A = this chain, B = another copy of it.
Amino acid sequence: MIVVLAGGIGAARFLRGLLAVTSDEVAVVGNTGDDITLHGLRVCPDLDTVTYTLGGGVHEEQGWGRADETFRVAGELAAYGEPVWFRLGDRDLGTHLFRRRLLDDGVPLSEVTRRIAARWRLPVTLLPMTDDPVETRVVADGREMHFQEYWVGLHASVPVERVWLHGAAAARPAPGVLEAIGAADLILLPPSNPVVSIGTILSVPGIRDAVLASGARKVGVSPIIGGAPVRGMADRMLAAVGVECTAAAVYEHYGFLDTWLVDPVDADPRFVAVPLWMTDLEATAAIAKAALA
């Protein structure tokens, strides 16, 4: 059994490579800190990116959202004067409406996620890190805001002074999360954001302890190549938590990894060097194969 702690695009692409090289059971613990309520709907960007990618519905070039997407509903919401800085596509909205209806009926997010995964016939078990309401918040430009407001709204254009998972103290791991970690032979950290993706998952009380207590081999893939994030705003987030934006610093920040995969440009005797650019499925499968080795 392999457990993967997953953010969005980087994790989803890595998972595609992983599934190409293993027939082992894979459980994915997904970040829900990025989740946000928009137009009364609960949007779970990371869970949905993993779902759409592994389910074959993702917008390939973009890496998130649905292929062949339209924005007719968003156009109407804009006409009604609703804020549409986070523009939801029509097909994507189908997922959020389905999820909202189930949540309204009292179905926990983990069960909602299971039902969404069933439609997409996911080849993994996808578990949200928690069923409890949490959200990643940042202080940027002297103002506190939801992570999505910083990332999608402000395009991460200003430095972050602080970042934390609001609601973490009262959150419990979702059903199945601790069990999966306990049963894992291998725990993989894909090249997701070390702060607002994997860091967030590890900050749900009980999850870090379970990872540390697990006898599984712990292998991570660096999201930093040559001192810069492969994608996203990991540099700004690392700065906010006082970690240098280097592959080595992120390795030390995690502090529990048996194996750390870095790109050849970051070669270091302590690490395994393998090309980390996930340019296509073949390259990604090679990274996954190195992680399994």
- CB under 8 Å from chain B, chain A span 113-148: 115-116, 119
Choose from B70, B79, B95 the contact partner of A90 (Cβ within 8 Å). B70
Hey, which chain B residues are within 8 Å of A91, CB to CB?
Answer: 72-73, 75-76
Q: Flag if B94 contacts A77 (CB, 8 Å).
A: yes
Copies of this chain held together in the complex: 2
Using known A-B contacts A72-B70, A72-B72, determine if residue A79 contacts B101 with beta carbons closer than 8 Å.
no
Interface readout for A56-87 with B: 1 if CB under 8 Å, 0 if not? 00000000000000101111110111100000
- CB under 8 Å from chain B, chain A span 211-269: none
Hey, which chain B residues are within 8 Å of A93, CB to CB?
Answer: 73, 76, 93
Hey, which chain B residues are within 8 Å of A76, CB to CB?
Answer: 90-91, 93-95, 97-98
Q: Flag if B95 contacts A40 (CB, 8 Å).
A: no
Hey, which chain B residues are within 8 Å of A155, CB to CB?
Answer: none
How many A residues are at the interface, by size bracket?
A: 20 to 34
> CA–CA, A119 to B94, complex, Å?
25
Using known A-B contacts A39-B97, A40-B104, A104-B40, determine if residue A90 contacts B73 with beta carbons closer than 8 Å.
yes
Closest residue to A78 on the B side, CB-wise?
Answer: B94
Choose from B39, B75, B97, B104 the contact partner of A77 (Cβ within 8 Å). B97
> CA–CA, A6 to B24, complex, Å?
63
Closest residue to A104 on the B side, CB-wise?
Answer: B40
Hey, which chain B residues are within 8 Å of A73, CB to CB?
Answer: 73, 90-91, 93-94, 97
Interface check A100, CB cutoff 8 A: yes
> CA–CA, A154 to B39, complex, Å?
31
> What are some 18 contacts across the A-B interface (CB < 8 A)?
A39-B100, A39-B101, A40-B40, A40-B97, A40-B100, A70-B90, A73-B73, A73-B91, A73-B93, A76-B91, A76-B97, A76-B98, A77-B97, A77-B98, A79-B94, A80-B98, A80-B116, A81-B119
Give 5 A-B pairs besides A40-B97, A72-B94, A90-B90 with Cβ atoms closer than 8 angstroms. Answer: A39-B100, A40-B100, A70-B70, A80-B116, A93-B93
